Amino acid sequence: MSLPVHLNDTEIDEFGRELDHIYEEVMTSRGDRDAAYIRRVIKVQRWLALGGRIVIYASLGLLPYWGHALATWPAFLGVITLGTLMLGTAKILENMEIGHNVMHAQWDWMRDPEIQSSSWEWDTVCPSDQWKHSHNVMHHTWTNVIGKDRDVGYGILRVSEAQAWSPKYLPQMLYNTLLGLFFDWGVALHDVEAERLIAGEKTWKEALPTLKGIGRKVVRQVGKDYLAYPLLAGPFFLYVLGANFTANIIRNVWSYMIIFCGHFPAGSQVFTVEQVENETRAKWYVRQLLGSCNITGGKLFHIMSGNLSHQIEHHLFPDMPSNRYPEVAPRVQALCARYGLAYNSHSLGRQFGTTTWKILRLSLPTPNAA
């Protein structure tokens, strides 16, 4: 069984060589402007995080409790909302444009000990080492291969007709909503493989090391956002805790939307294990292309998405610095047009809308279910 394209093996090999050329050209030209970019993003992120927390604390001085002229509920709510948005934005930048891409080894070439894939620990409850296994190894190797890539539905959702329907999918819009709100927890538990535990295919003893790693990270994250920082506010503990919780929810919902738009919108394809047997590098490129989707938008949108709005280019070249994806995307799209290959790129509204509709539709049995 072959990939669902009209090209013969010789044409696919030539397509792969042209992508190799783009990759080599960019990777050999990495230099000061790329290093300056990631250091600037990190600097902005850290100032946003610090500024957001300071504004949250400053808002407490506007509580009506103090009785001065500016101490009103509207003033307090306005300022604490500003601080929460700043903190949520900082968390998005840290997880998406910095953490995700640093852990893909996109910046290892700089040899900066503070920006290395081997040592970066991100601001989320998922331990970095576990994420690098489930994401970098499993997802990027087996992208959209049913039964191999656990990101296809994350073990709880039916996102393709190729997944057999069962009654457990009927309430999947509820699972989907909860996953979006608490996405970092879903990512953290991804490597536990809960569905295999429930099915008896994996033992609790086998899952224990993974659970211990998650537990250590949860203690650190919960201790920071829901205990240490709120305690600094004394009797106003709950206000700071609420702001931190909301900032995490903002980060979760945004990350969920961007990531789900990467592989599940209308037009994205899934594959069987048989289709990837003896797969060449060129055919791997074609699979990454057909299984990934881009989101159109402006420069700020791309940065806030971690440049995963260029999901196609990210999957073709996962260790390429993310700031280079916008410049290679038109070349990749032109190459696809020349070879007659689909290049799935649409607005956030279209990609997220078709993804949500697919999850709703596939909660019910479909005629061509496996």
d(CA 188, CA 65): 40
Q: Which residues of 168-203 are buried (b: 16+ CB within 10 A; e: fewer)?
A: ebeebeebbeebbebbbbbbbbbbbbeeeeeeeeee
pLDDT of residue 1: 58
Other residues' Cβ atoms within 10 Å of the Cβ of residue 369: 15
3-state secondary structure of 31: coil
Torsion of CA 16, 22, 23, 24, to 10 degrees: 110
Query: Do residues 147 and 196 lie in contact, with contact meaning Cβ atoms separated by under 8 Å?
Result: no
Q: Which two tokens stand for residue 336?
A: 């696809």
Query: Do residues 96 and 305 lie in contact, with contact meaning Cβ atoms separated by under 8 Å?
Result: yes
pLDDT of residue 199: 84
Predicted confidence pLDDT, tens digits, the chain (370 residues): 577 788 999 999 999 999 999 999 999 999 999 999 999 999 999 999 999 999 999 999 999 999 999 999 999 999 999 999 999 999 999 999 999 999 999 999 999 999 999 999 999 999 999 999 999 999 999 999 999 999 998 889 999 999 999 999 999 999 999 999 999 999 999 888 888 888 888 899 999 999 999 999 999 999 999 999 999 999 999 999 999 999 999 999 999 999 999 999 999 999 999 999 999 999 999 999 999 999 999 999 999 999 999 999 999 999 999 999 999 999 999 999 999 999 999 999 999 999 999 999 999 998 754 4
Phi first, then psi, for residue 294 (nearest 5°) are -95, 165
Residue 248's contacts (CB-CB under 8 Å, 6 or more residues apart) are: 88, 91, 184, 225
pLDDT of residue 198: 85
| 135: DSSP letter | I
pLDDT of residue 370: 45
Tally the C-alpha atoms within 13 A of residue 140's C-alpha that lie toward its C-beta.
Answer: 18
Tally the C-alpha atoms within 13 A of residue 331's C-alpha that lie toward its C-beta.
Answer: 16
| Unique residue bearing structure tokens 């850290």 | 46
d(CA 290, CA 269): 6
Torsion of CA 281, 293, 91, 319, to 10 degrees: 20
pLDDT of residue 182: 97
